[in-house]
Amino acid sequence: MTDHYAVLGNPVAHSMSPAIHAFFAANLGDDISYDRLLVEEGNFDATASGFLANGRGCNVTVPCKGDAFRFADTLSEYAKTALAVNTLKKLDDGRIYGDNTDGRGFVADLKFKGVSLNGARVLILGAGGAARGILKPVLDEKPGEVVIANRTLSKAQELQKLFGSVVKAQSTETVRDGFDLVINATSASLSGSLPAIDPGVLSRSRRACDLMYSQNGETIFTEFARKQGCPEVFDGFGMLIMQAALSYELWRGIMPDFEVALKHFRKNS
């Protein structure tokens, strides 16, 4: 019998999730369907309930991750700290479980790339949903220091208060040091702009990455970091595949071969 899954969001037309999950399922010989469901404003609960009446689980994307957080009957620790859900699963007793695989997907991709956060000095640019979503999985790796730099300092300070002493808040333009890893978690790339970070920070840092991804692997931020001479630069494409693989594992109890998927989609995207 076919198991039904979907991605809910607005827009969803360009979501790669249906192709990624179809690829996982084909490799594993699983019989699944995976649809796109456009959520009209204020319609998340009805759309999710309607789908989950028969569906076994769904992914949730922008701008519905907060709605999914409120909708779920029970939440993972990752969802609780992120205040956002990207994966819903219907449990055997009919209740809906909400998880967030974005941050774990990010850390899994770092590990796959051979990047260890243990003891590392990390700079996170941005203090919105994306930054919040990666913070627990990043801190679980025991970095030496995490500086959160944001255009609006107060938002970074809120995260500092919540996440404790390893986390330090700063205004973006006051950051001068180099870091082991600079993470762009702002949504600036979406509008083709850059956070107001001193270019010297990227010259002095060992690695830089964007949580955003693009077809050719470059975002405005990765290009900027490369231009400043940062030796290792990557976009969020690996994170995209990893978060999908973790959702698949949550739903079906088996981890897809993300390495094969990564190669396939990077080549064909």
* Beta strands at 145-150 and 167-171: parallel, antiparallel or unpaired: parallel
258, two tokens: 């993300």
Work out whether 187 is an interface residue with ligand ATR (CB under 6 A). Answer: yes
113 counts as catalytic: no
Which of the 8 DSSP states describes residue 141?
T
Work out whether 150 is an interface residue with ligand ATR (CB under 6 A). Answer: yes
The answer to whether 121 and 143 have CB atoms below 8 angstroms apart is: yes
Work out whether 171 is an interface residue with ligand ATR (CB under 6 A). Answer: no
Selected range binding ligand ATR among 113-121, 122-130, 160-168, 261-269, rule: CB under 6 A: 122-130
181: closest CA among 250, 106, 238?
106
Q: Binding ligand ATR by CB under 6 A: which of 117, 127, 182, 230?
A: 127
Selected range binding ligand ATR among 2-10, 44-52, 144-152, 252-260, rule: CB under 6 A: 144-152
Work out whether 151 is an interface residue with ligand ATR (CB under 6 A). Answer: yes
Work out whether 124 is an interface residue with ligand ATR (CB under 6 A). Answer: no
Selected range binding ligand ATR among 93-101, 148-156, 237-245, 246-254, rule: CB under 6 A: 148-156
Of the pair 152, 216, the CB lying nearest ligand ATR is at 152
Of the pair 195, 238, the CB lying nearest ligand ATR is at 195
Percent of the chain as helix, strand, coil, to the nearest 5: 45, 20, 35
Selected range binding ligand ATR among 45-53, 95-103, 127-135, 136-144, rule: CB under 6 A: 127-135
Question: Count residues contacting ligand ATR (CB under 6 A)?
Answer: 14
Find the helix or strand (DSSP H, E) in which 202 lies. Answer: helix 199-204
Of the pair 25, 188, the CB lying nearest ligand ATR is at 188
Work out whether 188 is an interface residue with ligand ATR (CB under 6 A). Answer: yes
Determine the Cα–Cα distance for residues 75 and 53; give it in Å rounded to an integer: 19
123: closest CA among 133, 115, 131, 113?
131
177: closest CA among 150, 199, 204, 196?
204
Q: Binding ligand ATR by CB under 6 A: which of 27, 74, 152, 216?
A: 152
Q: Which residues contact 250 (CB under 8 A, 6 or more apart)?
A: 57, 87, 89, 99, 101
Work out whether 239 is an interface residue with ligand ATR (CB under 6 A). Answer: no
Determine the Cα–Cα distance for residues 126 and 104; give it in Å rounded to an integer: 18
Of the pair 100, 186, the CB lying nearest ligand ATR is at 186
Cα distances (Å, whole numbers) of residue 15 to 8, 35, 47, 72, 114: 10, 10, 17, 22, 28
Residues within window 86-105 making contact with ligand ATR, judged by CB under 6 A? none
Work out whether 130 is an interface residue with ligand ATR (CB under 6 A). Answer: yes
The binding site for ligand ATR (CB under 6 A) comprises 126-130, 150-152, 155, 186-188, 193, 195
Q: Which residues are catalytic?
A: 65
